[in-house]
Structure 1
Amino acid sequence: MVSIDKIKVAASLLLVALGVTGFYLVPADQGIVRSLPVVLSLALAGFVLWFSNPGRAFVDYARDSIKEAQKVVFPTRKETWQMTGVVFLFVGVLSLFMWGVDSGLTWVFYDLILGRG
């Protein structure tokens, strides 16, 4: 048996599809009027989903995500500059290492093995 929540989700998807279809049916020179079906269909689909269990679960998830995001401690300006300096230093050292390995392998293969020096 199909639950009422599945019907609500299907109806919201159908509303969004109708809105996109309406967008393409309106002539391209009608800027705001052309986007109106999409906006209305998204609003109606959100309204339909609001009263379904998956919609309420999503709202609860979004609220929990906002609470978790508020717990994030961002680094100070000094810490940010220090970490940026460490990253630049690491990139510089790694690029010198890679250049050394590339030059060494080029010397080994072209000068020693192939003799094309």
Structure 2
Amino acid sequence: MATSQVETVTTGADKAKLAVALLLVLAGFVAYFMLAPQGVYAQWGALIVGVLAGVAVFLQSAAGKGLVDFGREAMRELRKVVWPTRKEATQTTMFVFAFALVMSLFLWLTDKTLEWVLYSLVLGWR
């Protein structure tokens, strides 16, 4: 199922929500460093509260709602994936290893042949 293109128009309210979200996250980081004398739990508590509050405000904006919709759509598409069986995955892996081995041998032989032709036959260095 193809999804239709959605054109978003950013309003002043959305810009304000994004600014508030950013300020809340920054406030959490500032509080983390300012609360160093109070201890680790106060620092991390302030950081987590600031980040969670910023995320909550962000999710209320159009960009946040779009991100949530994208996540839902991705999960829906992920459920449609047909995963290979263990046997198919093993066979494919063995094919890739065998191909890599054959190609490495071919390239090594090509390199050594060109080396022999150029250095021994053409230039006579050996």
TM range (shorter): 0.7 to 0.9
Q: How many residues align?
A: 115
Shift of 1:66: 1.0
Aligned residue type for 2:47: V
Give the TM-score, by structure 2 length.
Answer: 0.80
Quote the residue 1:35 is aligned against.
44
The 1:3/1:80 distance shift into structure 2, 3 A limit, reads same
Q: Which whole-Å CA distance do the structure 1 matches of 2:68 and 2:124 have between them?
A: 69
Shift of 1:8: 0.3
The 1:32/1:87 distance shift into structure 2, 3 A limit, reads farther
* 93, 103, 107: which one aligns with 1:98: 107
Give the TM-score, by structure 1 length.
Answer: 0.85
* 16, 25, 48: which one aligns with 2:25: 16
Q: Which whole-Å CA distance do the structure 2 matches of 1:81 and 1:102 have between them?
A: 31
Quote the residue 2:15 is aligned against.
6
Measured on the aligned residues, the alpha-carbon RMSD in Å equals: 1.9
Gaps of 5+ in 1: none
Is 1:48 aligned with 2:53?
no
Quote the residue 1:72 is aligned against.
81
After superposition, the C-alpha distances for 1:42-76 in whole angstroms (9 at most, x for unaligned) are 21012112222221121111111111111111100
**Greater displacement, 87-96 / 36-45:** 36-45
Q: Which whole-Å CA distance do the structure 2 matches of 1:14 and 1:90 have between them?
A: 54
The 1:107/1:56 distance shift into structure 2, 3 A limit, reads same
The sequence identity of aligned pairs, in percent, is 37
**Greater displacement, 34-43 / 82-91:** 34-43
After superposition, the C-alpha distances for 1:7-36 in whole angstroms (9 at most, x for unaligned) are 0001111111222223333439x4444332
Q: Which whole-Å CA distance do the structure 2 matches of 1:112 and 1:35 have between them?
A: 72
Shift of 1:109: 2.2
